[in-house]
A and B are shown apart, each in its own frame.
Chain A
Amino acid sequence: MLALAMRSIRQRPGRFTATLLSAFLGATIIMTFNSMHDTAGANGVDATSAETLSTAAGVVGGYGTLLVFFAIASTLTVNVRQRTAEIDLLRSSGATPTQIKRMIVGESVAVALLAALLAIAPAMLGGHALLSLFQDSGQVADSVDYSFGPVALMSGISITLLASAGAAFLAVRRATRRRQPAGKGRKFFTYAALALGGLAACSTFAFSATDPALMAPPAYGAILLAIGFALLSPKLLLAVLDRLPFSGPSGYLAVRNMRQRAAQLSGVLMPLILFTGMATATLYMQAVENDAIDASGVPKSIDAKNLETLNLTVVGIIVVFSCIMLINSLYAATTYRSREFGQQRLAGATPGQVLGMVGVESLVVTATGVFFGTAAGLAGIIPFTVVRTDSLLPDQGLGTWLAIVATATAATFVTSLATARCTLRTPAVGAVTLVA
């Protein structure tokens, strides 16, 4: 079965691009931040430098890792679901569920390993750049040498592999079991994520206002809540779908499609909610932090400005990563629907009506994602702001949030519609006979 897995990767490298890309980016981010641990642990690093580096690795590296884990997992879930036809074929040719599981998990591990190895070089460059940012801002002594060691390597490879293998295992288990109601596992995960997220966000109150790790608990909280919401949202979506005022053929199809595929939508909602939640939480918390530093009375030195730039860079990396993941999974999910689009066209839908349907779906997905993402983000921002400044909400205004929403909306619409347009170029008859 493992041989079959390798052959299937070699024969069709294209379909692994999405998984490879997400695992590669994820591994790069994990290794970049975790190499700060290695750098801090090297001989002859002074205590202050070591602390700065460890805090950066621990805080950003920590929640970045969690984010990467779920981003990889959600891409992989979409990928495995798209292969139901192949899995059915294998099963009907006599493969046992265990063999299929071994094949899919084997493939995922192979792709993840390749991605992690490819990520080493960029992560080293990124780590170098990150260290020089720290050194430029004066937080780390110039004498500290960059080192890429066992912590970066082990954490990068193991987390990427674990996320891929775990997600593949869960996804293939779902695929090889015939029609079973949503498992108890999913329910457990949903409530566990929500409970832990809430707990993490609340634990912010246990920190003091100047604690360097103050940003960690609300950020973890926001990510976990975002994941919980992503798992929960299809159910809530079902409840409102019938009340949506969509008329016309495109709306008719979109609403009926989404009602049936609501459970699968969480694969796309996950990155969208994560992006909105993470971007909102981290950008606002950083802004609050910067203002608090300004307000502390210390005149804004060049160092402080550097620090601001550095923090925003770090936060920016996380935000850009989640945006790429959003585009990646939307692209994968839409490409997969070319057969469905073909069937609709054969039943008399014009290309415009198919695009209209995709548009309506994007609208609903965006609205849901932005709503829950903002909720998750607020759950992180509010405790942080309360502890840091004693006011409830940041006084930065809605500008940043609007920019985030605009980015999420643009990414969702442009990716979905452009991908759908591409798949519509295949003649309808060709599209329905393509082997999945």
Chain B
Amino acid sequence: MLSRTQRPPNTTPTEALRLVKVTKTYGTADSKVTALEDVTLSLPRGTFTAVMGPSGSGKSTLLQCAAGLDAPDTGIVMVDGTEMTGGTEAQLTKFRRTRIGFVFQQYNLLDTLTVAQNTILPLKLARRRVNRKRVEEILTAVGLEGRLGHRPDQLSGGQRQRVAIARALVTEPSVIFADEPTGALDTRSAREVLHLLQEAVRIHDRTVVMVTHDPVAASYADAVLFLADGRLVGEMRRPTADAVAERLAHLGDDVPAGV
């Protein structure tokens, strides 16, 4: 028997997320859809990466497989140097708790909890000690001081998304996955949310992976990965909105290239 838990000693601690030959297909044999095909990538700690591609390119599947919400058919996902092995949902949940934070387009805050309670929920669920001062600092940093007792339905979309960001920061995860975080927001709120995600990287030293449709949102990232038909087809560093839009428009012309 091979010892699977033994980690290679040369795992670089600066690598937050690594995907190796990840493949995911949906459907049965006769109507098979390949959502991801042989995706290999590595993201260093403290980076802000946007994943872009047309609808159906596999963006969401990539995020869900990388975040342990869905199991890839083949391939390896490593977060913070630890391989995510398939298991029960409870095992995966416990794996995610300390390593992964989420920000969703639809916020996914619990309506019955206040802003403060929503923020500390992941800590409560993991039975971790709640550092009140730290939580208040984070909520102040995202601009929600004075709203700790409000409920999500008393907040605007932008404010809700800021609660979600605070909740993702509070567990100090290695990677924060954001799925179209600005998809339901007006331009101004979207800009604020994107700035907060940048700060999560710059100030809090988190690694952010953001799936988005919007070239402007993607331009806030350090790098953009382009996805088409389930394959990585390109990368752009220091993206600008115009360059990203241009590249998106010609995605079909790109020669598939690994990253």
Contacts and interface: CB of A to CB of B under 8 A. Distances in A.
A348 B69 contact: no
A267 to B, nearest CB: 16
A208 interface: no
A249 B125 contact: yes
A52 interface: no
Interface in B85-130: 89-90, 93-94, 96-97, 102, 104, 106, 108-113, 117-118, 121-122, 124-127
Contacts of B69: 346, 427-429
Nearest to A259: B112
Interface in A326-384: 340, 342-353
Interface centre among B94, B113, B167 (most CB of A within 10 A): B113
Size bracket, chain A contacts: 20 to 34
Interface string A394-436: 0000000000000000000000000000001001110011000
A347 B108 contact: yes
A352 B108 CA distance: 20
Nearest to A350: B90
Contacts of A261: 112
Interface in A228-267: 248-249, 252-253, 256-257, 259-261
B113 A256 contact: yes
A260 B151 CA distance: 10
B82 interface: no
Nearest to B97: A348
A347 B110 contact: yes
B34 interface: no
A349 B112 contact: no
A311 to B, nearest CB: 45
A348 B96 contact: yes
Contacts of A346: 69, 102, 104, 108
Interface in B160-178: 167, 171
B124 A249 contact: yes
B192 interface: no
Given A249-B127, A344-B110, A429-B64, A256 B117 contact: yes
A92 B169 CA distance: 34
Contact of A427 (B70, B97, B106, B121): B70
A260 B118 CA distance: 14
Interface residues of B, number: 29
B226 to A, nearest CB: 23
A347 B104 contact: no
Contacts of B104: 346, 432
Contact of A347 (B89, B111, B122): B122
Interface string A275-289: 000000000000000
B90 A260 contact: no
Contacts of B167: 347
A349 B89 CA distance: 10
Contacts of A347: 108, 110, 118, 121-122, 125, 167
Contacts of B121: 344, 347-348
B89 A350 contact: yes
Contacts of A343: 108-110
Contacts of A353: 125
Interface in B108-157: 108-113, 117-118, 121-122, 124-127, 151
Contacts of B89: 345, 350-351, 424
Given A348-B96, A348-B97, A427-B69, A260 B109 contact: no
B64 A348 contact: no
A89 B34 CA distance: 34
Given A257-B112, A432-B106, A345 B93 contact: yes
Contacts of A429: 64, 69-70
A350 B122 CA distance: 11
Contact of A248 (B112, B113, B127): B127
Given A349-B93, A350-B89, A350-B94, A432 B125 contact: no
B26 to A, nearest CB: 12
A252 B124 contact: yes
Nearest to A428: B69
A256 B116 CA distance: 13
Given A256-B113, A256-B117, A427-B69, A432 B108 contact: yes
Contacts of A342: 108
Nearest to B113: A256
A3 B129 CA distance: 56
Given A256-B117, A340-B110, A343-B109, A348 B70 contact: no
Contacts of A432: 104, 106, 108
A225 B69 CA distance: 48
Nearest to B64: A429
A349 B125 contact: yes
Interface centre among A259, A344, A349, A432 (most CB of B within 10 A): A349
Nearest to A351: B89
A348 B122 contact: yes
Contacts of A257: 112
Contacts of B111: 260, 340
B172 to A, nearest CB: 13
Contacts of B127: 248-249
A342 B126 CA distance: 17
Interface string B30-60: 0000000000000000000000000000000
Contacts of A259: 112
A383 B151 CA distance: 48
A348 B171 CA distance: 10
Contacts of B106: 432-433
29 contacts: A249-B126, A252-B124, A253-B124, A256-B117, A260-B112, A260-B151, A340-B110, A340-B111, A343-B110, A344-B125, A345-B89, A345-B93, A346-B69, A347-B122, A347-B125, A348-B93, A348-B126, A349-B93, A349-B125, A350-B125, A351-B89, A351-B90, A424-B89, A427-B69, A429-B69, A429-B70, A432-B104, A432-B108, A433-B106
Given A256-B113, A260-B151, A351-B93, 13 more contacts: A248-B127, A256-B112, A260-B111, A340-B112, A344-B110, A345-B89, A346-B102, A347-B122, A349-B125, A427-B70, A429-B64, A429-B69, A429-B70
The 8 closest A-B pairs by CB, nearest first: A260-B112, A350-B90, A348-B122, A348-B125, A350-B93, A348-B97, A343-B108, A249-B125
